[in-house]
C-alpha cells in the first residue's frame, strides 16, 4: 500500500474500461469482468454494458426464471460450476451474476433474470450457484443490492420501503448468499433506497453488508450508477464501473481530508483480495459438459400447469401432429439487455420433436415475432388444424415485450396469438399450449378447453430439446412455480404502487409480496406459488417434528411415488406464526427438498427449522425477534396444497429490549424491573381508581409512560427516567431475572 501514491489510489477505485479494472502493481493485476447470470457475455476489453455489441460464443443456460423453477440447489451448483468453466475458458475473473432481486410485480422487465417472489427460495438457489462459480476460481457477483425490483426509472428512482420489508423480503436472499456462499464480489443497485443511492448507502454497504453479515468481498457499482464518487467511496463502494473520469474528485477529497485515506486503503485491500482469489480461474469440465448441464437445467425448469391426460403425447405412427407458433422454430430462450449471451448453438423444439417422432409433424408459424399481426399466417395455421389429431401451440412473449430497461404494463399474451389460439380451439381438436416467457403472463383468460399447458419460461439454448422430451414423456416435468400466477394483475399486492412516478415508488405492500399477500387475503390465484404437475403422483406421510435445540426442530416426512412413472417432487415446508401480537403473512416458505423417485419408491426427507425461521424483524428494537407461542408447520406440494400439518411451541428468544424514553406502558409491563414499579404504583392507587384501572389501563397501554407524568398520578419525569435507567442497568449487567 505504501508504494501507491494517493493519485494511484484514487485511480484504482474506478475501472480502467467497460470491463477491466486498473492494474496496481504486482499483486494487483488488471481483472476482466463480464456478464452475466446465465452465460458469459464477454466482449474482451471493450464493449457495451447493454448487450448491443456482439460477444464471444458461450453456453446459454436457462435464465434465472427457469433455474428458479427447478427448485434444485444441487443442480444450480452444477450450473455454477459450468458457468465458472465457461468464464475461465474466456479469461474472465469476475462473472456479473446471479441476479437476486425479488419479483415484487409480475410486470418487472427483468423478472426473467431473477429467481422468485420468495427470498428463501432465491437465497438458497443463488448461494448454490455462487458456490459453483467460485469453485472454479471465478468470482460471482450477486446483484443488484438492493431493492432494485423494477426497470422503470431504475437509475434514479427512490424506493421508499420499511426496514421490516427490507429485512424480511428484499435483503434476506443477499444475506443468505453472503453467509452461506461467501461471494467474492457484489454489485450495488442503480436506485435509491429510502433517499440514498444504493452505491452510496453506508447503511447498506457497511452497517448491514459488512458489519452485520461479515461480507469480505468487493462491492462494485452497477454500470453508470455512481452519482457522487466521493460519497460512494466514503459509503463503502470499492469500485466504480465503468470509470467516469471523476477520480480526480476523489483525489481532491483525499487531499482536503474529506475522505479518510484509510477508506481508500480498505477498498484497495479488497481489490487485492479479489485479485488473489481470482488469480487462476480454472476450467475443469469442457464445453460439451456445460451444454449437458444446460440441458439438465432446462429439463427441470419446465413446469406443467394443466394436463387433461393428453401428456405425455402418445404418438403412434399415424398420429398427425401439428405444431403451431414461430417459437417452436425460433425459440425465445433468454431475455434482452446486459445478460444476453451469444449461444454456442440453439436447439428448437420442432426439430427435436421431428427427431423423436416417426410420423410427420406439420408446422405453421401462425404469427411473427415482430410486432403486428399477420392474418395469412394465422389462416394457414387454422387451415392446417382441420386434419390434425393434436395441435401443439407454442405461444409466449416475443423479445420486444419484455427486457432489462423497461417494465411491462399488462400480463397479456400478444393479441394476435390469443386470436389464433381461439381459432385453434374452435376447431375442436385437442390443443396443447407451450409458453415461452420471462415473466408471468395471464393464463386464466384462455385456459378453459385447453388440453394441457406447459410453462416453459425461458430455457436457454438447449431448451427446445427439453420441451420435446417432456411433451413425449422422456422426461417427467418437475418444475414448480417460483412466482405465483394471479387471476388478474389487479390482484397483485404491488399493483396500486408499481412502478410509482416522479422518481418515487413506495412499497406499500410492505412484507406482503406474492403468495404472502394472496394466501393472507385468501385471494384466488390462477396457479399457486410452488405449484407444478408431474406425470406421476406423490403421497406424503409420517410427519415427525423433533426438537433438537432451543428454537430448533427437525421436520421429517416420508414421500412416496404412487404413480407408474418416475418423477421428482418438491416437498415444501411453510411456517405460520399463530396468534402472536405482530401482523405476519399467513405462512412463509422456510425449507424445501426436491426428491427423485422411481414408481413405488419411497424416501425420507428431513428439513430443519431454526430461530430465524420463526422470527420477524422488530423495527423498533431493530433486531430479529422470536415471539413465544405456537407456530404451525405445514408440509406441502405448493403453498396452496398443504398435505401434512403439525405445530411447535417456541419459548421465544427470551430477549428483553432496553426501555426507551418513549417506551409505552405495555413495554414497561414486559420489562421485569419496570413491571415491578407499575405493580407498586397500582398498589398505591386510591381505591376508587384501582377498580376503574382495567379500562383505564386498556386505554393507556399504548401511551408512552413519560406522557402519564402529566396525569396527576404522582408519576414525575425524574421517576420515569430513574426507572428506565435502573431497568437498562439491570439488563446491561444481566441481573434482570
Ligand atoms: C447493466 C445491468 C447489470 C450489468 C451491468 C454490466 O446495466 O444492470 O446487471 O451487470 O450493467 O452490463
Chain segment 108-139, per-residue pLDDT in tens: 999 999 999 999 999 999 999 999 999 999 99
Question: Ligand 1 center to residue 238 CA distance, Å?
Answer: 17
Determine what percent of the chain is predicted with pLDDT higher than 70: 98
d(CA 364, CA 495): 37
Question: Ligand 1 center to residue 223 CA distance, Å?
Answer: 6
Closest ligand 1 atom, residue 113 Cα: 9
d(CA 465, CA 75): 18
Top mutation candidate among 112, 223, 341 for ligand 1, by most atoms within 8 Å of CB:
223
| Mean local confidence (pLDDT), 630-653 | 98
Question: Ligand 1 center to residue 647 CA distance, Å?
Answer: 44
pLDDT band at 1 (very low <50, low <70, confident <90, very high): low
The C-alpha cell 418515487 sits at 504
Residue whose C-alpha is closest to residue 451's, from 425, 415, 423: 425
Q: Is 35 in the pocket of ligand 1 (CB under 6 A)?
A: yes
Cβ-contact 717, 661 below 8 angstroms? no
Question: Ligand 1 center to residue 143 CA distance, Å?
Answer: 9
SS3 574: strand
Our answer to whether residue 222 is catalytic in this structure is yes
Residues 6+ away with beta carbon under 8 Å from 245: none
φ, ψ (nearest 5 deg) of residue 167: -65, -35
Question: Ligand 1 center to residue 662 CA distance, Å?
Answer: 45
Asked whether the predicted pLDDT for residue 203 surpasses 80, the reply is: yes
Question: Ligand 1 center to residue 338 CA distance, Å?
Answer: 5
Query: If you take atom 12 of ligand 1, which residue's CA is the nearest one?
Result: 49
Q: Is 199 in the pocket of ligand 1 (CB under 6 A)?
A: no
Question: Ligand 1 center to residue 608 CA distance, Å?
Answer: 36
Q: Provide the terminal-to-terminal Cα distance of the chain, rounded to the nearest Å.
A: 51
Closest ligand 1 atom, residue 97 Cα: 10
Closest ligand 1 atom, residue 36 Cα: 10
Residues 6+ away with beta carbon under 8 Å from 372: 416
Closest ligand 1 atom, residue 223 Cα: 11
Residues listed for the chain: 737
Chain segment 306-315, per-residue pLDDT in tens: 999 999 999 8
Q: How confident is the model at residue 332, as a pLDDT? A: 98
Cell of 316: 403412434
The C-alpha cell 411456517 sits at 575
∠56-57-58 over CA atoms, to 5°?
115
**Mode of pairing for the β-strands spanning 196-197 and 192-193:** antiparallel
Chain segment 11-52, per-residue pLDDT in tens: 999 999 999 999 988 889 999 999 999 999 998 656 777 767
pTM (2 decimals)?
Answer: 0.96
Residue whose C-alpha is closest to residue 534's, from 352, 313, 356, 306: 306
Q: Is 303 in the pocket of ligand 1 (CB under 6 A)?
A: no
| Mean local confidence (pLDDT), 602-626 | 97
Closest ligand 1 atom, residue 143 Cα: 9
d(CA 658, CA 678): 17
∠77-336-353 over CA atoms, to 5°?
70
d(CA 130, CA 143): 12
d(CA 34, CA 340): 11
The dihedral of CA 330, 332, 335, 340: what is its sign? negative
* Eight-state DSSP code of residue 730: H
pLDDT band at 372 (very low <50, low <70, confident <90, very high): confident
Q: How far apart, in Å, are the Cα atoms of 194 and each of 171, 209, 505, 615?
A: 14, 17, 10, 24
Residue whose C-alpha is closest to residue 63's, from 131, 116, 19: 116
Cβ-contact 217, 274 below 8 angstroms? yes
Top mutation candidate among 108, 152, 338 for ligand 1, by most atoms within 8 Å of CB:
338
Residues 6+ away with beta carbon under 8 Å from 326: 365, 366, 367, 368, 369, 394
Q: Is 240 in the pocket of ligand 1 (CB under 6 A)?
A: no
SS3 264: helix
Q: How confident is the model at residue 45, as a pLDDT? A: 58
* Residues linked to residue 635 through DSSP beta bridges, in sequence order: 573, 644
Closest ligand 1 atom, residue 338 Cα: 12
Top mutation candidate among 94, 96, 150, 154 for ligand 1, by most atoms within 8 Å of CB:
96
Cβ-contact 317, 361 below 8 angstroms? no
Catalytic choice (35, 222, 296, 519): 222
Cell of 358: 416417426
∠670-672-675 over CA atoms, to 5°?
70
Amino acid at each position: 500500500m505504501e508504494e501507491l501514491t494517493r493519485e494511484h489510489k484514487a485511480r484504482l477505485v474506478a475501472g480502467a474500461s467497460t470491463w477491466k479494472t486498473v492494474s496496481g502493481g504486482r499483486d494487483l493485476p488488471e481483472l476482466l469482468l463480464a456478464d452475466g447470470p446465465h452465460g458469459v457475455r464477454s466482449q474482451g476489453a471493450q464493449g457495451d454494458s447493454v448487450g448491443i455489441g456482439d460477444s464471444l460464443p458461450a453456453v446459454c443456460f436457462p435464465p434465472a426464471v427457469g433455474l428458479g423453477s427447478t427448485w434444485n440447489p444441487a443442480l444450480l451448483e452444477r450450473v455454477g460450476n459450468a458457468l465458472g468453466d465457461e468464464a475461465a475458458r474466456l479469461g474472465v475473473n469476475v462473472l456479473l451474476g446471479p441476479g437476486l432481486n425479488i419479483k415484487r410485480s409480475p410486470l418487472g422487465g427483468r423478472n426473467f433474470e431473477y429467481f422468485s417472489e420468495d427470498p428463501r427460495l432465491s437465497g438458497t438457489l443463488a448461494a448454490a450457484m455462487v458456490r459453483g462459480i467460485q469453485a472454479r476460481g471465478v468470482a460471482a457477483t450477486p446483484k443488484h443490492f438492493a431493492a432494485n425490483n423494477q426497470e422503470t426509472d431504475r437509475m434514479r428512482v427512490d424506493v421508499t420501503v420499511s426496514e421490516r420489508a427490507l429485512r424480511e423480503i428484499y435483503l434476506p436472499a443477499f444475506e443468505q448468499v453472503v453467509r452461506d456462499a461467501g461471494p467474492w464480489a457484489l454489485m450495488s443497485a442503480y436506485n435509491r433506497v429510502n433517499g440514498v443511492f444504493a452505491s452510496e448507502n453506508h447503511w447498506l454497504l457497511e452497517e448491514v453488508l459488512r458489519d452485520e453479515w461479515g461480507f469480505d468481498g468487493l462491492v462494485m457499482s452497477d454500470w453508470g450508477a455512481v452519482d457522487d464518487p466521493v460519497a460512494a467511496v466514503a459509503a463503502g463502494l470499492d469500485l466504480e464501473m465503468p470509470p467516469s473520469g471523476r477520480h480526480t474528485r476523489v483525489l481532491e477529497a483525499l487531499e482536503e481530508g474529506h475522505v479518510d485515506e484509510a477508506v481508500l486503503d480498505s477498498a484497495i485491500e479488497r481489490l487485492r483480495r479479489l485479485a488473489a482469489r481470482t488469480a487462476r480461474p480454472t476450467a475443469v469440465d469442457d464445453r460439451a459438459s456445460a451444454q449437458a448441464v444446460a440441458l439438465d437445467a432446462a429439463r427441470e425448469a419446465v413446469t406443467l400447469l394443466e394436463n387433461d391426460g393428453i401428456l405425455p403425447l402418445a404418438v403412434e405412427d399415424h398420429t398427425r401432429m401439428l405444431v403451431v407458433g414461430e417459437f417452436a422454430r425460433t425459440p425465445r430462450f433468454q431475455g434482452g439487455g446486459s445478460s444476453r449471451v451469444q449461444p454456442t448453438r440453439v436447439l428448437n423444439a420442432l426439430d427435436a420433436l421431428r427427431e423423436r417422432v416417426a410420423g410427420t409433424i406439420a408446422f405453421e408459424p401462425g404469427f411473427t415475432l415482430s410486432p403486428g399481426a399477420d392474418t395469412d399466417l394465422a389462416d394457414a395455421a387454422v387451415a392446417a388444424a382441420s386434419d390434425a389429431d393434436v395441435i401443439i401451440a407454442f405461444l409466449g412473449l416475443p423479445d420486444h415485450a419484455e427486457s432489462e430497461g423497461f417494465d411491462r404494463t399488462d400480463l397479456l399474451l400478444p393479441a394476435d396469438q390469443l386470436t389464433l389460439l381461439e381459432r385453434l380451439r374452435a376447431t375442436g381438436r385437442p390443443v396443447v399450449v407451450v409458453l415461452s416467457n420471462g415473466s408471468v403472463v395471464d393464463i386464466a383468460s384462455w385456459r378453459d378447453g385447453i388440453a394441457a399447458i406447459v410453462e416453459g419460461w425461458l430455457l436457454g439454448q438447449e431448451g427446445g430439446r427439453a420441451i420435446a422430451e417432456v411433451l413425449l414423456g422422456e422426461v417427467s416435468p418437475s418444475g414448480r412455480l417460483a412466482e405465483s400466477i394471479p387471476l388478474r394483475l389487479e390482484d397483485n399486492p404491488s399493483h396500486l404502487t408499481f412502478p410509482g412516478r416522479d422518481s418515487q415508488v413506495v412499497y406499500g405492500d410492505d412484507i406482503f409480496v406474492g403468495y404472502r399477500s394472496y394466501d393472507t387475503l385468501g385471494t384466488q390465484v390462477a396457479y399457486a406459488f410452488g405449484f407444478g404437475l408431474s406425470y406421476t403422483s406423490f403421497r406424503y406421510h409420517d410427519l415427525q417434528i423433533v426438537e433438537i435445540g432451543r428454537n430448533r426442530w427437525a421436520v421429517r416426512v416420508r414421500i412416496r411415488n404412487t404413480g407408474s412413472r418416475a418423477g421428482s417432487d418438491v416437498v415444501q415446508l411453510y411456517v405460520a406464526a399463530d396468534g402472536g401480537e405482530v401482523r405476519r403473512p399467513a405462512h412463509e416458505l422456510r425449507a424445501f427438498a426436491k426428491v427423485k423417485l422411481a414408481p413405488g419408491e419411497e424416501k425420507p426427507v428431513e428439513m430443519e427449522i431454526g430461530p430465524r425461521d420463526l422470527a420477524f424483524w422488530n423495527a423498533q428494537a431493530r433486531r430479529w425477534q422470536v415471539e413465544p407461542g405456537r407456530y404451525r408447520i405445514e408440509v406441502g406440494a405448493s403453498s396452496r396444497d398443504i398435505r401434512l400439518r403439525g405445530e411447535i411451541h417456541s419459548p421465544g428468544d427470551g430477549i428483553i429490549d432496553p426501555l426507551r424514553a418513549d417506551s409505552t406502558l405495555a413495554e414497561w409491563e414486559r420489562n421485569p424491573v419496570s413491571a415491578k414499579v407499575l405493580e407498586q404504583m397500582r398498589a398505591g392507587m386510591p381505591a376508587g381508581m384501582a377498580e376503574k384501572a382495567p379500562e383505564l389501563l386498556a386505554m393507556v397501554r399504548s401511551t408512552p409512560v413519560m406522557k402519564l407524568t402529566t396525569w396527576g398520578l404522582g408519576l414525575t419525569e425524574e421517576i420515569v427516567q430513574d426507572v428506565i435507567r435502573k431497568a437498562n442497568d439491570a439488563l446491561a449487567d444481566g441481573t434482570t431475572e
